[in-house]
Amino acid sequence: QVQLVESGGGLVQAGGSLRLSCAASGRTVSSYAMGWFRQAPGKEREFVAQIRGSTGTTYYRDSVKGRFTISRDNNKNTVYLQMNRLKPEDTALYYCAARINFGGDWDYWGQGTQVTVSS
């Protein structure tokens, strides 16, 4: 079993930056694909970014490309999401997720960390 705990959310002005962290425990997740998702009030949860375990290849939704960067530190069993040039529409509850098989279901989820971007 894998536990995921997100941190780093907060309130920031438009144009500012935040770095989210997702600390995994229970198992080493270096071979897992790790992802970030978000859910704004009244909207469905949506994919934000993903990093593969085997190759480190990254994927992003179009609206965050060039502003967000996902990375991982396998020594710390932790994944990060660096968010720059934040916009009010980035306001959401951000979740970390892990999956054993790339392309399969997401097996583990964190509880989320709130990001609020003021205009």
User: How many CA atoms does the CB half-sphere of 7 hold within 13 Å?
Assistant: 4
Closest CA to 87 of 21, 38, 36: 38
b/e per residue 77-97 (b: at least 16 CB within 10 A): bbbbbebeebeeebbbbbbbb
How far apart, in Å, do the first and last CA atoms of the chain sit? Answer: 40
Chain-centroid distance, C-alpha 110: 10
78-107 pLDDT, tens per residue?
999 999 999 999 999 999 999 998 888 999
Confidence of residue 9 (pLDDT cuts 50, 70, 90): very high
Instruction: Tell me the DSSP string of 42-104.
Output: TS--EEEEEE-SSS--EEE-GGGTTTEEEEEETTTTEEEEEE-S--GGG-EEEEEEEESSTTS
State the pLDDT at residue 102.
80
What are the backbone angles phi and psi of residue 70, rounded to the nearest 5°? -100, 140
- pLDDT for residue 20: 98
Q: What are phi and psi of 64, to 5 degrees?
A: -115, -5
Mean pLDDT of the chain: 96
